[in-house]
Amino acid sequence: MNTKIVKIQSREKTFSPEEEKTLRQAGEIIQAGGLVAFPTETVYGLGGDGLNQESSRKIYAAKGRPSDNPLIIHICRLEDIGFLVKEFPENARKAADAFWPGPLTMILPKSGHVPYETTGGLETVAVRYPSHPVAQKLIEYGGGYVAAPSANLSGRPSPTAAKYVIEDMEGRIDMILDGGEDDIGLESTVLDMTVTPPQILRPGFITREMLEEVLGEVDIDVTIMESGNSRAPKAPGMKYRHYAPKGELTIVEGPPEQVVDYVNRAAAADKAAGEKTGIIATSGFLNEYHADVVKCAGDRDEEEVIARRLFAMLREFDDEGVTRIYSESFQSQGLGQAIMNRLLKAAGHSIVRL
Ligand code: TXA
Ligand code: MG
């Protein structure tokens, strides 16, 4: 398949006539059952018509994703949610008022309009109203209900820039809208509204603390941060190995000086054994690490920067042929929790605690 790649750099709600034409064309592709990758404020999505079972099948095929892993349906007007869900309870409305459009996905009981192909056979549907202007226009022109997982091949880090979508999806889908780099860099917070209290199934930019301010008590699915847990996580997607770089990744947690010392010794031993070594460090200790490639994740206090850099760093290690990676660990509240969740999954839960 020939994949059309078109730049749309505008971050405004108004587009140039050419961009407008491209967006209409992209919307037509979706309405005709095709697939278009597009930027959102979190990561790039791989969009198809969420009400068309054939489109959902194509999405799974293009990603190489197991079909029991449900898709998020993206909307571009709050009132459109009524069509997708059986009920829209008061607390879901409150969360929508506070965080939509934005990086929050809510799980609600699905209506008869949503095909099981889109929900992976579940009676619930995941809905998100993204804030990115390109995403909003594409959803509008695409018919209003765009199913979109992250636009990576299954198992790879989610794409935070069009070049990574091109890497994974060129030749597999109809069109890629290149909107440059995404702002947040981690996928949306997934919140299950079908239970009381609501439960976070995937941590993200909208943190538990932010949700609790609006909704009162909010739980978190404990299985997502633990290793060796025998219980399956509730978001089907969270059980799969994810975000994995080709190199083997280990997280090292402990007092900073000890972490530096441990990582340097481990990396030196790996190097002697013929491995190409890489390190993910925060800026404060950057110069104390020694490896083939040392990457700066950002300042420890600036978690938003670390979140934005994380998936790109994992992909860069692949490009650089790094076979053994060590990373500092991050805090387990706030945005740090989302960072640690992705990092733990990328590491297959390999963590050394000093
Ligand atoms: O930021 C995002 O959410 C991005 C952009 C493109 O919007 N999308 C994204 O989609 O990350 P995806 O498919 O990569 O992740 C969706 C997650 C998966 O872990 C999936 O299992 C979970 O949401 N999920 C979807 N529908 C669900 C449902 N009905 N019940 C429980 N979990 C669900
Ligand atoms: Mg994904």
CA of 320 to the centre of ligand 1 (A): 30
Atom from ligand 1 closest to the CA of residue 187: 1
Each residue's pLDDT tens digit, 75-88: 999 999 999 999 99
- Per-residue pLDDT band for 314 (boundaries 50, 70, 90) equals very high
Q: Residue 238: is its pLDDT beyond 80?
A: no
CATH 3.90.870.10 fits 4-225, yes or no: yes
Each residue's pLDDT tens digit, 94-120: 999 999 999 999 999 999 999 999 999
* Domain(s) of CATH 3.90.870.10: residues in the chain: 4-225
Q: Residue 256: is its pLDDT beyond 90?
A: yes
Q: What is the mean pLDDT of residues 239-246?
A: 72
Copy the structure tokens of residue 214.
């609006």
* Domain(s) of CATH 3.40.50.11030: residues in the chain: 248-353
Rounded-to-integer distance, Cα 48 and Cα 147, Å: 5
Say what the pLDDT of residue 174 is.
98
Q: CA angle 92-95-97, nearest 5°?
A: 110
**What Å distances lie between residue 122 and 54, 59, 108, 236, CA to CA?**
17, 17, 11, 10
Question: Among 72, 128, 145, which is best to mutate for testing ligand 1, by the most ligand atoms less than 8 A from CB?
Answer: 72
CA of 106 to the centre of ligand 1 (A): 10
The average confidence (pLDDT) of the chain is: 94
Say what the pLDDT of residue 301 is.
92
- Thinking of the domain 248-353, which architecture would CATH place it in? 3-Layer(aba) Sandwich (3.40)
Say what the pLDDT of residue 48 is.
98
Say what the pLDDT of residue 42 is.
98
Closest CA to 193 of 330, 313, 89: 89
Closest CA to 218 of 352, 333, 301, 84: 333
Which residues form the pocket of ligand 1, taking CB atoms under 6 Å from any ligand atom?
Answer: 40, 42-43, 45, 69-72, 103, 105, 107, 119, 122, 124-126, 128, 130, 148-150, 187-188, 190, 201-202, 234-238
Say what the pLDDT of residue 224 is.
77
Percent of the chain predicted with pLDDT > 90: 86
Q: What is the mean pLDDT of residues 16-37?
A: 97
Q: What is the mean pLDDT of residues 33-41?
A: 98
Copy the structure tokens of residue 281.
């460090």
Which ligand places an atom closest to the C-alpha of 243? Answer: 2
Q: Whose CA is nearest to atom 22 of ligand 1?
A: 235
**What Å distances lie between residue 100 and 64, 104, 107, CA to CA?**
30, 7, 14
Rounded-to-integer distance, Cα 22 and Cα 16, Å: 10
Copy the structure tokens of residue 16.
């140039």
Atom from ligand 1 closest to the CA of residue 128: 7
Q: Residue 246: is its pLDDT beyond 90?
A: no
Task: Please say whether the beta carbons of 158 and 284 come within 8 A.
Answer: no
CA of 72 to the centre of ligand 1 (A): 5
Q: Whose CA is nearest to atom 10 of ligand 1?
A: 149
Question: Among 150, 152, 154, 240, which is best to mutate for testing ligand 1, by the most ligand atoms less than 8 A from CB?
Answer: 150
- Per-residue pLDDT band for 9 (boundaries 50, 70, 90) equals confident
CA of 305 to the centre of ligand 1 (A): 23
Rounded-to-integer distance, Cα 349 and Cα 249, Å: 9
Closest CA to 252 of 186, 159, 308, 324: 324
Closest CA to 4 of 31, 25, 18, 32: 25
Percent of the chain predicted with pLDDT > 70: 96
pTM for the structure as a whole: 0.95
Rounded-to-integer distance, Cα 237 and Cα 228, Å: 17
DSSP string, 55-69: HHHHHHHHHT--TTS
Say what the pLDDT of residue 49 is.
98
CA of 149 to the centre of ligand 2 (A): 6
Say what the pLDDT of residue 234 is.
74
Atom from ligand 1 closest to the CA of residue 236: 21
| The dihedral formed by the CA atoms of 247, 251, 256 and 261, expressed in degrees to the nearest 10 | -50
Atom from ligand 1 closest to the CA of residue 45: 6
